[in-house]
Amino acid sequence: MTTPILEATGLRKEFTGGKVAADDVSLTLPPGGSTGIVGESGSGKTTVARMLVGLETPTAGTVSVDGEPLTTGGAIRHGWAERLRRARRIQLAFQDPYASLDPRQTISTGIDELLRLHEPDRDRRRDRAAELLDQVGLDARMARSTPSALSGGQRQRVAIARALVSRPKVLVPDDAVSALDVSIQAQVLNLLTDLRDELGISYLFVTHDLAVVQHVTDELIVIHQGRVVEHGTTDQVLTAPQHSYTRDLLAAVPREGRRPTRHL
């Protein structure tokens, strides 16, 4: 069997006051795979994503990427060398690209700021920055622009380019296209599919949008109240859901001629 590129076992997150946001969540992601995590707002899916990339410390459980443990007994290793190693394995693409980009910086400055952590040579950084913009379908002239001069779709492409700076093996888009128009969503999702083919990167899509996971994922994990309630191939889960919560999610998807039965 192929060794998973990402593996999480028994993840639990309990916040102050006893609120449990994730409980016994386990998952695996194969090399070059694309898996979706879906659930309504407050289901715990973003908490799981943040634990996977090291932005939240699990109360319990383990995470490993490419065979390298990122947590030990629920604790995240916070040393500078460990943070760089983690950055070169897994990255998060945030939901709101405008909020994640410094409005005072040009695109080239923002990318170079990250590249300095991985590449000391200035000429190589310049070449790598040009390569990244090309990979996400942006004109090199946009490097001199600030985020406010770009459209929402262009800003999301910049956010993806920044996430790719460290050449991660796993990218976790957290509702990364939810703020975009439907036509622009499709363009960005097609870009991510192309990058998967070109770079061999693996994806863990975190979203409430079933149309997104149907478009870009092979497997699907459904989370409800912090627990995994269903897991299977995307086709299986969407066409023959086994859990009542999954059926409720599907019933909530607006279809022509009827209103959704439940709001996400």
Domains and CATH numbers, the chain: 1-89+168-264 (3.40.50.300), 100-167 (no CATH)
Residues 6+ apart with CB under 8 A from 124: none
- pLDDT at site 180: 80
- DSSP H helical segments within 26-106, as ranges? 45-53, 80-87, 97-100
What distance in Å separates the CA atoms of residue 31 and residue 87, rounded to the nearest whole number? 17
User: 221: phi > 0 → left, psi -120 to 50 → alpha, else beta; which?
Assistant: beta
Whole-number pLDDT of residue 202: 96
Predicted confidence at residue 259, as pLDDT, reads 37
Q: Is residue 46 within 8 Å of 30, Cβ to Cβ?
A: no
DSSP state of 59: S
Could you tell me which residues come within 8 angstroms of residue 101 by beta carbon, excluding any fewer than 6 positions away? 110, 147, 155, 158, 159, 162
Check residue 81 and give its pLDDT. Answer: 73
The reported pLDDT for the residue numbered 214 is: 87
C-alpha dist (Å) from residue 182 to 50, 143, 209, 229: 26, 26, 11, 28
Mean pLDDT by 10 residues, the chain (264 residues): 88 92 95 94 92 90 88 60 82 78 91 90 92 94 92 91 94 84 88 93 92 90 96 95 93 58 35
Q: What SS3 class is residue 71?
A: strand
Structure confidence at residue 1 (pLDDT): 57
Sheet with strand 60-65: strands edge to edge: 20-29, 6-14, 60-65, 68-69
User: What's the pLDDT at 194?
Assistant: 94
Residues making up the chain, counted from first to last? 264
Distance CA 146, CA 144 (A): 7
